Amino acid sequence: QVTLKESGPALVKPTQTLTLTCTFSGFSLSTYGMRVSWIRQPPGKALEWLARIDWDDDKFYSTSLKTRLTISKDTSKNQVVLTMTNMDPVDTATYYCARTNSSSGLVFDYWGQGALVTVSS
């Protein structure tokens, strides 16, 4: 059974760095074809793809946010970490992590429940 769960601070101040952790089970990110992405959704707004890390440690970032994002993985802990620097109130959103298994193409087949992060002083 595949599960993912996001964790991190619910509230961050402007200019701070956000660190979110996606802890997953039911698959290994060292297995060929496995990928984990971060996706966010501001309240009442659309989904936005942020970053992805692959089984071979390849990393990809949103063009518009790449200077602020870092994605990494700890295979032994079954975790993927996303850091976002210089947080701003517009970054207030629910942050999701989601799995892709390349045997199913680029589908996000499993999602976490999401973690709401509010940016406010």
Partner 1 sequence: SNELTQPPSVSVSPGQTARITCSGDALPKKYAYWYQQKSGQAPVVVIYEDSKRPSGIPERFSGSSSGTMATLTISGTQVEDEADYYCYSTDSSDNHRGVFGGGTKLTVL
Applying CB under 8 A, the span of 67-75, 76-84, 85-93, 103-111 interacting with partner 1 comes to 103-111
Strands 11-12, 115-119: pairing is parallel
70 forms part of the interface with partner 1 (CB under 8 A) = no
Number of Cβ within a 10 Å radius of residue 77: 11
62 forms part of the interface with partner 1 (CB under 8 A) = yes
106 forms part of the interface with partner 1 (CB under 8 A) = yes
Among 3, 21, 114, 116, binds partner 1 (CB under 8 A): 114
3 forms part of the interface with partner 1 (CB under 8 A) = no
Residues 6+ apart with CB under 8 A from 87: 12, 13, 14, 15, 16, 17, 18, 119
Distance CA 29, CA 41 (A): 24
7 forms part of the interface with partner 1 (CB under 8 A) = no
Residue 92 near residue 43 (C-beta atoms within 8 A): yes
Residues that bind partner 1 (CB under 8 A): 37, 39, 46-49, 52, 58, 60-63, 96, 98, 104-109, 111-114
